[in-house]
Structure 1
Amino acid sequence: MEIAETLSENVMKVLKARYLIKQDGKQETPDQMFRRVAKTVAIADNEYNDFNIVESEEKFYKLMKNFEFLPNSPTLMNAGATLGQLSACFVLPVEDNTSSILEAVKTQAIVQKTGGGTGFSFSKLRPEGDQVGSTGSVASGPVSFMQLFDKCTQVIKQGGKRRGANMGILSIEHPDIIEFIEMKRNNMNLDEQAKIMKEFNISVAITEQFMSELRNDENHKFINPRTGNEVLKCEDCGKNIFLNDKNIFDVCKLCGGNPKRIKAKELWEKIIQYAWECADPGLIFIDKINNSLSNPVREHFTIESTNPCGEVPLLPNESCNLGSINVVKFINATNDDIDWNKLRESVRDTIHFLDNVVSVNKYPTNEIKEMSHNMRRLGLGVMGFADLLSKIGIKYGTEKSYQFARNLMKFISEVAWKMSEDLAEKRGTFPYWDKSDFAKTQKRVRNVNCTIIAPTGSIGTIASCSPGIEPHFALVYVRHSRIKERSEEFEELHHLNEFFKEVLSEKGITLDKEKILEISKNGGSIQDITWIPQTVKDMFPIASDLSGEKHVLMQSAFQEFVDDGVSKTINLPNEATVEDVNKAYNLAYNTHCKGITVYRDGCLDLQVLETEKTKNLRESKNAEGAHILSGGYIRPEYLIGRTYRFTYNNSGLFITINKDENGVPREVFIERGKSVDEEKAAYEGMGRLISIALQSNIDVSSIIKTMRGIQTKNISWHQTKGNSIPIRSVPDAVAHALADTIHNEQVEVINNEQEVKVNISKTEEKINVKKQCEMCGENSLIHSEGCSKCLSCSYSSCG
């Protein structure tokens, strides 16, 4: 019987859209796909002459045909095809120069075109405001460069079959880490085209030093990766302050604010808050990773980043090919345990398969080929774990389930390493073996790593099993999948847990449409549904039925016996609190986990897996979005503001700035006396654009910096508190008003229509204290951006 005859409609849709090769107008069958892959991978045996190639091909084919094992998607797509690129995971280096950045973008495009996902560490890029060369210009920082990588992915569709995926990582020590943590915070309120970094998962690389600072309530040190020097933050605008030529910290060049250090606790709370709001950033415990089995060559190389889902820490220019054993296929005859002998043989065969993939792979670049061959990293994991627990009667999230997970992974790991040793006897060790911990104990192995737990979203769908080690997401749900030909639109694939349906049928309960809808409206959970027996409820807990703690403990249980990392999303219900996220992140650090990602149901406006409950939540938020102003800000009924009056070019200039309940500027209105229609339109347009920027949470100080100093031939002097300040243009006046708004510490309620004179803050005075210019004699000399500048004759001490 052809496999296609046994597969569901959903599985065939996915296979036809992404995996089955078309040639001469005909599309291969699933049988032919598995045969193509098995034949290509078995060819590597010819190089070593250690296995019978015909027997290997047949073993590989049966493993896949019976859905006992599936390799990662690029292997299924590309083995035996023109591309021939078989790895799913890559990490690419990004050094602190334009050449390296552009080379990384180029390689990213090549990798994603062949079906791979890419990870990057941006921690080596100099921070925003740092010096660039000898030109006197300043760096824009890693967050701005990341958007270049994001745009690249948006125009590259993986292998012509799926969109690319990325991981962006920044060290907690980097001075721009706050901007990194906050950059995706407003995506929920923006149109799809306006979303920031939508093709990236982002994670903060957490060090042991930072966790020590957090425990002891200490200040955190930011380090400039270019110089190794500490960087402080401006207490007013939050921007970076660097050591000056005299090796001391000066006041902020932007606003004159004083430098300060930030508590580790403040950074941690920001991470937790935005993970709760928008599921980013996650964490990777970078020191844990480098001091673990992930990096046996740590004395020579340092891991800085991971693949897009975070479970595969890799060296720069390294790749990894993954494969997963469908453990539900290995239940014994009495349905109460694993058939361990059958599993042993399959683990040995799959390690053989994956090692062959390293050899036959057509790598995107020579650098990646060299590093991948030198390491020969394998990623054997599991899928179908939740299905397995349901069928053998162990409730997910109990101590019994954690112990079963440890026993299962310990067994797989031991068998995998034994097979790697056997392969080394015939094929030799991985080339960097002599640089590794294995050489110290003379343990000769073929591979630097053997085991990884991948998410298996796509191949889990093909195998019709629960993904990776995750609990059932829901018993009734919809998967949004981009499988429409020549379209980026999502298609809805409806799923009902078939084993759940069988169990109910055995108890005389028929799942009709009304019952299915009731479960879906309950978020896919059956725990509160009265007509379902308790014994069935215990068999089928779903992700949102479990506390964050139970999710983390399962991840930790597997991680004890996994060489590299474990992909596990800490799924939380929509009503979960910020403190729930905090507890999960702390528990992950204090157990065996190497990283963590949380996802609070409904926190994004689109999610891949969705129930009727989540859909209703999302649609209610979209309804609220009808009142969202351009840029994503939801305007309340009224705002409190003040109107500043300037005199510019012999006429009145009125600038109104409205602030929200937190004192954050949100609206700017500009009016000018004696202005004609064209001028009024220009001022209204300027006000609207600034308002959109403010409503989109663009940093106010950045707007001030952009507009301050814009100069026309007309300069007016505005008198305030016995001092004069130059008003060089209308944008310059807006900058002065905004600066006063964010720096004025006095709290008072002012009616909307009330006008107030400009009250230049101490910060403003510090920047604009005028001295006599030695060139023209006018009292117009100020200190700005490290130079003495005359506002009358344009003299500058910097030339």
Structure 2
Amino acid sequence: MSTEAAQRPPSTADTAATTVRVIRRDGAVSPFDASKISVAMTKAFLAVEGGDAAASSRIHHLVADLTGQVESSLLRHAGPDTALHIEQIQDLVELVLMRGEHHKVARAYVLYRDERAKARQVAAPTKAEASINVRAADGVLRPLDWGRVAHVVGEAVAGLDDVAAEPVLTEARRNLYDGITADELALAQIMAARTLVEQEPNYSYVSARLLLDKLRGEALTYLAGSPTLASQNEMAHRYGGYFRDYLTRAIELELVDPELATFDLGRITAAIMPERDLDFGFLGLQTLYDRYFQHHDGVRFELPQAFFMRVAMGLAIREDDRESRAIEFYELLSSFHFMASTPTLFNSGTTRPQLSSCFLTTVDDDLDSIFQAYKNNALLAKYSGGLGNDWTPVRGLGAHIKGTNGQSQGVVPFLKIANDTAVAVNQGGKRKGAACAYLETWHVDIEEFLDLRKNTGDDRRRTHDMNTANWVPDEFLRRVESDASWTLFSPNEVPDLHDLYGNAFAERYREYEAAAERGEIKVSRRVRAVDLWRRMLTMLFETGHPWITFKDPCNLRSPQQHVGVVHSSNLCTEITLNTDAEEVAVCNLGSVNLLKHVTPDGLDTERLERTVGTAVRMLDNVIDINFYTIPEASRSNLRHRPVGLGLMGFQDALFELGLPLSSDAAVTFADTSMEHISYYAITASSALAAERGRYESFEGSLWSKGILPIDSMQLLIDARSGDALDVDTSSTLDWDTLRETVRTQGMRNSNVMAIAPTATISNICGVGQSIEPLFQNLFVKSNMSGDFTVINPHLVTSLKEHGLWDEVMVSDLKYFDGSLGQIDRVPADLKALYATAFEVESKWLVDAASRRQKWIDQAQSLNLYIDSPSGRKLDELYRYAWHKGLKTTYYLRARSATHVEKSTLRGTDGKLNAVSATPAAAAAPPAAAPAPTASGSPSPSPTAAVPAATAPDAVPPATPPVAERPGPKAEDVDFTATDGAACRIDDPDCEACQ
């Protein structure tokens, strides 16, 4: 039955329906199923009234009522042996529609089965089309070549299932006019295919191939100097010549390093695979077109395979056998098995190869250092670097300034300038400049720091564009759980706290507290730890910031403890490297596409080993090739040589394996897949050390002692003695042999692994971001390239296999915001497998992250999702992450007042605008008890919730919960009462770091 019908109380008709049979036209007999009536009528209504938000809601309720009328009439006198002919049922449906005065719908109902079976035929150009002229790039009008249009569209659909040229051509015809430009003609075809994506995901590939035809014409015309077109088949034979012409022009324009021309171009061009141009989805190719391909005066002349080869050649430029390595790197990139980070893709092979992804800095407590930090931020951001700034050393509000005998205004005014610097340097328009400021929780300005992203208050003390993050020591969370006090200090009076961690920090911190009690410290303030914690969580929900990151796990498990301290993470919370006044930490990122390394039988470990080995070599090459904009970055990177190999497409791999994200099997897969990546990455770095030499600061590192990331977990366990640390330390591979190899042979890189968000490069590869759960199965993605309809192709394949993919399913997915949960005809196993982010309890995300973290020498960008948020839920979730040994967390995602665009794409230009401006609080549901997830798992409750805040601006408390273990009682905070919401998942700014 339909969802609405299922919500009615059981009736005699409902009972009878389970035994009544239906005789079909071919004589076959099947059980009566009222949901088929509902589906048929919904299709008829959609055909007449469309599917906009208002109509969709009305149709769902109306069809439920009409279906009930039909069902009641049919089954009123039915018995166990009753058989109904399908014609009887259809006659009654038509009668009920007519009685309800739905005359147009009734006619559509009679016709819709036949109409669905009819395929539109490609008609020859009409007389009107034959008179259409197209204005070419040179301004000359030429007759429309409809034959070529049909040929290009035919090429675009070739080899793809469930797509056809006819509907694309029919839709494209509607936008033709005499004098149409060549660009507009190409766009008409692209947009025609885009309108069909929500009905069939493979039309995304059709759209991409039509965009590719436009790009070919743009590039070839630019290089030839006159209008030049080539189909995909024709281009396959001229790619080699094109690549040489492209390279020559790019070097002339000083866009590409002239050294690339010295490669053996015969070998290089022979390795190019033009057919891989066809592997892009529309979102991926459009993103490359808008932001990555080389261009001159706005004209793109770099085709996809030339792009990948340029990047590969740039990374191989210092190899002994440059051609072989370039081809090896190209193979990995162009097949989507591995993708380098955005700065590497932007700049590899160019005259300014700034290839590194992330930069971490520490700002000292003097004006020279502070203003040097602004300059460094600008220079690092100029070529697409993401920034993480440690501001903890800067003295707090009210601290004495010896040079002027005055009082400090604290760190906040300086952060405002850092914010404006990030806005001003927007990375050449390719993506927004982005930085994250970190502050330790004991800093006296921490409460003002929490307010930086608020939309109210003094705007001179707000940073609306800069990310912020809390750098939280374990001692603070011990105080939270024991309901103890917490003392805030100005760092100029407690300077060594900045460099201490673990038990050493806790001991020294208590000494300073005693000194403050004795009046020996001028600037200090005591607060209740749980009040500050509550405020941190409240601000995190209200503004999306500051994020929660954990100082002690980052340092206790750092391989580089012997040469410095990790003072912050980066823009996306996955990098944990040492910084000081002399060294700016640098990390070079890339991600393995996990989907390409699984089969229905499990992980393809042989392929994964090959991919990881080549990927680590590529990342290590970045360090030597890199263009460093400041000397502190060069000095740090060449000394320690850190890289960050991560992964993407995690949930796509789970779809391939049939594993729901909210399952023990998925957590185990997260563990084993990361174990293999870790093993192969460490092996590859050690092999590079044998070939090229160890990194300079290797001696004294954990690596040099045979302590691998899995072993460093014990260091955290020891430091947390007496505190609950719920971690798994099991393994499956031969780590003993690798330990000895690393200890004796060394490592090429101080750090090897980090899981970045992959917000953009995963779009290029056509997979889900990083380790993220799927936001929705059907939604509109907004980024700097525009708005894109995104539909889960794995789901569509499964629904087709069950005979459930049709127009009504599309309507239902829109109506229920991309969720299967309330669509009755979808089997329970598919609902569990394709549960969306807010249907998956975040406990599962933390569990999987915990199992990964034991293998990673840095950290992972972990977004957390929460539906119907409350203070208790957030408190439990973030302390659960701490107890599970995580190093960092990233964005908190909460439902906002956004939804899937509830309108059909037919007859539009394919441009969707699904983001509502309505404040989240206005549309948020009232706080309620936690609902079970798709797997029925409860919410995480490792410890008691903490007491409610008593600060003046704390969120009002709601009903008290029951404590889960001995500890202070708590009260829920209803976050729906606030005036804001956590980071919106559909906010395009959230991908600034990628």
Report how far residue 185 of structure 1 moved: 3.4
Asked if 2 retains the 8 angstrom alpha-carbon contact of 1:375 and 1:447, the reply is yes
Report how far residue 27 of structure 1 moved: 2.1
1:415 corresponds in structure 2 to 680
Given the alignment, which residue of 407, 419, 435 partners 1:166? 435
Whole-angstrom CA distance in 1 between matches of 2:380 and 2:389: 13
2:399 is the alignment partner of 1:126: no
Report how far residue 616 of structure 1 moved: 8.4
Aligned AA for 1:495? Answer: V
Instruction: Give the match's secondary structure for 1:414.
Output: helix
1:549 corresponds in structure 2 to 843
Given the alignment, which residue of 848, 870, 893 partners 1:577? 870
Report how far residue 601 of structure 1 moved: 2.3
Asked if 1 retains the 8 angstrom alpha-carbon contact of 2:314 and 2:350, the reply is no
2:280 is the alignment partner of 1:7: yes
Report how far residue 472 of structure 1 moved: 1.1
Whole-angstrom CA distance in 1 between matches of 2:551 and 2:521: 30
2:371 is the alignment partner of 1:102: yes
2:886 is the alignment partner of 1:593: yes
Report how far residue 216 of structure 1 moved: 2.4
Report how far residue 510 of structure 1 moved: 2.4
In structure 2, do the counterparts of structure 1 residues 105 and 478 end up closer, same or farther at CA, with 3 Å as the change threshold? same
What whole-Å deviation, never above 9, does each CA across 1:302-358 have from its counterpart, x for those lacking one? Answer: 1111111101112220111111111111123xx121111111111111111111111
2:592 is the alignment partner of 1:325: yes
In structure 2, do the counterparts of structure 1 residues 623 and 395 end up closer, same or farther at CA, with 3 Å as the change threshold? closer
2:647 is the alignment partner of 1:378: no
1:341 corresponds in structure 2 to 606
1:497 corresponds in structure 2 to 792
Given the alignment, which residue of 447, 470, 477 partners 1:211? 477
In structure 2, do the counterparts of structure 1 residues 101 and 464 end up closer, same or farther at CA, with 3 Å as the change threshold? same
2:609 is the alignment partner of 1:311: no
2:468 is the alignment partner of 1:202: yes
2:46 corresponds in structure 1 to none
Asked if 2 retains the 8 angstrom alpha-carbon contact of 1:166 and 1:201, the reply is yes
What whole-Å deviation, never above 9, does each CA across 1:456-512 have from its counterpart, x for those lacking one? Answer: 1100000000110111111111221123xxxxxxx2122111121122112222242
In structure 2, do the counterparts of structure 1 residues 591 and 612 end up closer, same or farther at CA, with 3 Å as the change threshold? farther
What whole-Å deviation, never above 9, does each CA across 1:94-129 have from its counterpart, x for those lacking one? Answer: 111111111111111111110110001110000011
Report how far residue 137 of structure 1 moved: 2.5
In structure 2, do the counterparts of structure 1 residues 531 and 172 end up closer, same or farther at CA, with 3 Å as the change threshold? same
Whole-angstrom CA distance in 2 between matches of 1:439 and 1:220: 38
Aligned AA for 1:219? Answer: S
Asked if 1 retains the 8 angstrom alpha-carbon contact of 2:921 and 2:979, the reply is no
Report how far residue 186 of structure 1 moved: 3.4
* TM-score between both structures, scaled by the size of structure 2: 0.56
Aligned AA for 1:34? Answer: F
Whole-angstrom CA distance in 2 between matches of 1:43 and 1:73: 19
What whole-Å deviation, never above 9, does each CA across 1:395-451 have from its counterpart, x for those lacking one? Answer: 112111111111111111011111111111110001111242223343411111111
Aligned AA for 2:598? Answer: I
Instruction: Give the match's secondary structure for 1:131.
Output: strand
Asked if 2 retains the 8 angstrom alpha-carbon contact of 1:524 and 1:611, the reply is no
Report how far residue 29 of structure 1 moved: 0.8
Whole-angstrom CA distance in 2 between matches of 1:230 and 1:469: 36
Asked if 2 retains the 8 angstrom alpha-carbon contact of 1:45 and 1:53, the reply is yes
Report how far residue 623 of structure 1 moved: 11
Asked if 2 retains the 8 angstrom alpha-carbon contact of 1:275 and 1:581, the reply is no
Whole-angstrom CA distance in 1 between matches of 2:538 and 2:914: 24
1:426 corresponds in structure 2 to 691
In structure 2, do the counterparts of structure 1 residues 277 and 520 end up closer, same or farther at CA, with 3 Å as the change threshold? farther
Report how far residue 370 of structure 1 moved: 1.2
- Aligned-CA RMSD value: 3.1
2:314 is the alignment partner of 1:40: yes
In structure 2, do the counterparts of structure 1 residues 53 and 128 end up closer, same or farther at CA, with 3 Å as the change threshold? same
Whole-angstrom CA distance in 2 between matches of 1:557 and 1:423: 27
Instruction: Give the match's secondary structure for 2:355.
Output: coil
Report how far residue 221 of structure 1 moved: 1.8
Whole-angstrom CA distance in 2 between matches of 1:556 and 1:531: 36
What whole-Å deviation, never above 9, does each CA across 1:544-572 have from its counterpart, x for those lacking one? Answer: 11112122112212112111001110012
Report how far residue 242 of structure 1 moved: 14
In structure 2, do the counterparts of structure 1 residues 144 and 504 end up closer, same or farther at CA, with 3 Å as the change threshold? same
Write out aligned runs for 1:111-190 (5 A).
Answer: 111-186=380-455
Aligned AA for 2:472? Answer: I
In structure 2, do the counterparts of structure 1 residues 524 and 326 end up closer, same or farther at CA, with 3 Å as the change threshold? same
Report how far residue 83 of structure 1 moved: 2.1
Whole-angstrom CA distance in 2 between matches of 1:624 and 1:302: 44
What whole-Å deviation, never above 9, does each CA across 1:629-678 have from its counterpart, x for those lacking one? Answer: xxxxxxxxxxxxxxxxxxxxxxxxxxxxxxxxx999xxxxxxxxxxxxxx
Report how far residue 580 of structure 1 moved: 1.2
Whole-angstrom CA distance in 1 between matches of 2:289 and 2:573: 28
2:555 corresponds in structure 1 to 290
State the number of aligned residues: 590
1:27 corresponds in structure 2 to 301
Write out aligned runs for 1:78-97 (5 A).
Answer: 78-97=347-366
Report how far residue 248 of structure 1 moved: 6.0
Instruction: Give the match's secondary structure for 2:562.
Output: coil
* Structure number with higher strand proportion: 1
1:509 corresponds in structure 2 to 804
Report how far residue 611 of structure 1 moved: 7.0
Aligned AA for 1:621? Answer: P
What whole-Å deviation, never above 9, does each CA across 1:704-734 have from its counterpart, x for those lacking one? Answer: xxxxxxxxxxxxxxxxxxxxxxxxxxxxxxx
Whole-angstrom CA distance in 2 between matches of 1:449 and 1:219: 37
In structure 2, do the counterparts of structure 1 residues 595 and 611 end up closer, same or farther at CA, with 3 Å as the change threshold? farther
Whole-angstrom CA distance in 2 between matches of 1:623 and 1:88: 35
Identity %: 26
Question: Can you give the 5+ residue segments of structure 2 that lack an aligned partner in the other structure?
Answer: 1-273, 498-512, 707-742, 904-911, 924-950, 954-977, 981-994
- Between 1:24-33 and 1:113-122, the stretch displaced more is 24-33
Aligned AA for 1:469? Answer: I
Write out aligned runs for 1:710-789 (5 A).
Answer: none
What whole-Å deviation, never above 9, does each CA across 1:57-110 have from its counterpart, x for those lacking one? Answer: 111101111111000000011001122100111012211111111111111111
In structure 2, do the counterparts of structure 1 residues 420 and 624 end up closer, same or farther at CA, with 3 Å as the change threshold? closer
Instruction: Give the match's secondary structure for 2:856.
Output: coil
Asked if 1 retains the 8 angstrom alpha-carbon contact of 2:814 and 2:900, the reply is no
Aligned AA for 2:568? Answer: S
In structure 2, do the counterparts of structure 1 residues 583 and 523 end up closer, same or farther at CA, with 3 Å as the change threshold? farther
Aligned AA for 1:331? Answer: V
Asked if 1 retains the 8 angstrom alpha-carbon contact of 2:360 and 2:569, the reply is yes
Write out aligned runs for 1:266-277 (5 A).
Answer: 266-277=531-542
1:361 corresponds in structure 2 to 626
Instruction: Give the match's secondary structure for 1:549.
Output: helix
What whole-Å deviation, never above 9, does each CA across 1:275-326 have from its counterpart, x for those lacking one? Answer: 222221211111110110xx22213211111111101112220111111111
* Structure number with higher helix proportion: 2
Whole-angstrom CA distance in 1 between matches of 2:704 and 2:893: 44
Given the alignment, which residue of 290, 297, 300 partners 2:563? 300
Whole-angstrom CA distance in 1 between matches of 2:449 and 2:664: 37
Whole-angstrom CA distance in 2 between matches of 1:458 and 1:509: 32
2:658 is the alignment partner of 1:393: yes
Report how far residue 217 of structure 1 moved: 2.0
Whole-angstrom CA distance in 2 between matches of 1:419 and 1:612: 49
Whole-angstrom CA distance in 1 between matches of 2:554 and 2:576: 8
In structure 2, do the counterparts of structure 1 residues 75 and 249 end up closer, same or farther at CA, with 3 Å as the change threshold? closer
Instruction: Give the match's secondary structure for 1:169.
Output: strand
* TM-score between both structures, scaled by the size of structure 1: 0.69
Whole-angstrom CA distance in 2 between matches of 1:369 and 1:480: 36
In structure 2, do the counterparts of structure 1 residues 195 and 329 end up closer, same or farther at CA, with 3 Å as the change threshold? farther
In structure 2, do the counterparts of structure 1 residues 615 and 586 end up closer, same or farther at CA, with 3 Å as the change threshold? farther
